[in-house]
């Protein structure tokens, strides 16, 4: 697991928390920020996967 995977996982967790709090409090802005953070985390994890694939010899 490299830095991108770790950062991605952290972004996804943070996004889930923000989204949940936003839903619970009716704060649409916080909910949207949470969804954006989750998407950012998924992107970072995909980047980490791509880096891993490039490192492996064929």
Question: Mean pLDDT throughout 3-23?
Answer: 95
Residue 21's domain spans which residues? 3-55
pLDDT-derived band at 57, boundaries 50, 70, 90 = confident
Q: Average pLDDT of 30-53? A: 94
Tell me: pLDDT of 53 over 90: no
Q: Which pTM value belongs to this model?
A: 0.82
Residues 6+ apart with CB under 8 A from 52: 2
Structural domains in the chain (count):
1
**Tokens, residue 27:** 């704060």
Instruction: Give the number of C-alpha atoms closer than 13 A to the C-alpha of residue 35, restricted to the C-beta side.
Output: 8
pLDDT value, residue 36? 98
**Is 58's pLDDT higher than 70?**
no
């Amino acid at each position: 697991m490299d830095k991108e995977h770790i950062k991605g996982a952290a972004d996804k967790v943070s996004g889930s928390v923000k989204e949940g709090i936003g839903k619970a409090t009716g704060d649409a802005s916080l909910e949207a920020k949470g969804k954006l953070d989750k998407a950012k985390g998924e992107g970072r994890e995909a980047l980490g996967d791509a880096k891993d694939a490039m490192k492996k010899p064929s």
